[in-house]
Amino acid sequence: DSVDALLKSYFNSELENGGAKYSEGVYAVALNPKTGAVLSMSGIKHDLKTGELTPDSLGTVTNVFVPGSVVKAATISSGWENGVLSGNQTLTDQSIVFQGSAPINSWYTQAYGSFPITAVEALEYSSNAYMVQTALGIMGQTYQPNMFVGTSNLESAMGKLRSTFGEYGLGSATGIDLPDESTGFVPKDYSFANYITNAFGQFDNYTPMQLAQYVATIANDGVRVAPRIVEGIYGNND
């Protein structure tokens, strides 16, 4: 198989000594972005009642999680794909307030106030505001403070955003040569708030393997390769 035993041993040690005891489980995947070879897939499940830690490598393809800010590069890609963003476009990072809702902030907006930010900087500083404005643009709307948002094209906009995510393997089958792979949890029912927060990784759920394929696709200049464990099938004399 393609798995690097030393790398897997290192991953297992880091997971067990690192975050496993602080959560229900921790997972790590390493892929060769050019070939899709799975270099390591490790997981540790934590029983919160007993404290027991058990190996769970297959959890990397069967368990799903809310990914958080890692998806922001895919949101910017969707902005480009749908003609909302152009190149390294500048938007204003600011506290986002919709009519009748609580503010959506980036962590540093509260400390430094509003300022212009490029697409690259939006990823560097993990800007929620940039992603929200991009998602609004996909809906055909431009942010104004305290605006009322019409949602007649919400379904179309979510479809466009998810379509781009799917091109990276998020919410779709990765093609890995293992059974029972989850394609993620992508709810059919959602609100405007769900759509907006999905733009910065707080709604749809993905497997660790899907997230690894997403990052590998970026590393491979946008070419998505199916992860694989089997290197080849050989005869007895090979």
Residue ranges per structural domain of the chain: 1-63+215-238, 64-206
Q: What is the pLDDT of residue 193?
A: 96
- Beta strand segments in the chain, E: 25-31, 38-46, 53-55, 91-93, 115-117
Domain 64-206: assigned CATH number? 3.40.710.10
Kindly provide the residue ranges of all beta strands, DSSP E only, lying in 121-190, ordered along the sequence.
none
Structure tokens at 7: 């790398």
Q: Is the dihedral of CA 212, 214, 220, 223 positive or negative?
A: positive
Q: pLDDT of the chain along its 238 residues, tens only? A: 567 788 888 888 888 877 677 788 899 999 999 999 999 999 998 888 898 889 999 999 999 999 999 999 999 999 999 999 999 999 999 999 999 889 999 877 767 788 999 999 999 999 999 999 999 999 999 999 999 999 999 999 999 999 999 999 999 999 999 999 999 999 999 999 999 999 999 999 999 999 999 999 999 999 999 999 976 554 555 5
**Residue in 2, 69, 95, 126 annotated catalytic:** 69
pLDDT at res. 15: 86
Element at 28 (helix H, strand E)? strand 25-31
Q: What is the 3-state secondary structure (H, E, C) of 158-175?
A: HHHHHHHHHHCCCCCCCC
Look at residues 219, 236, 234, 198 and name the one whose alpha carbon lies nearest to residue 35. 219
Q: Cβ(43)–Cβ(209) under 8 Å? A: no
Q: Assess whether 23 carries a catalytic annotation.
A: no
Q: Which residues contact 11 (CB under 8 A, 6 or more apart)?
A: 28, 30, 40, 42
- What does the pLDDT read at residue 234? 47
Whether pTM > 0.85 for this model: the answer is yes
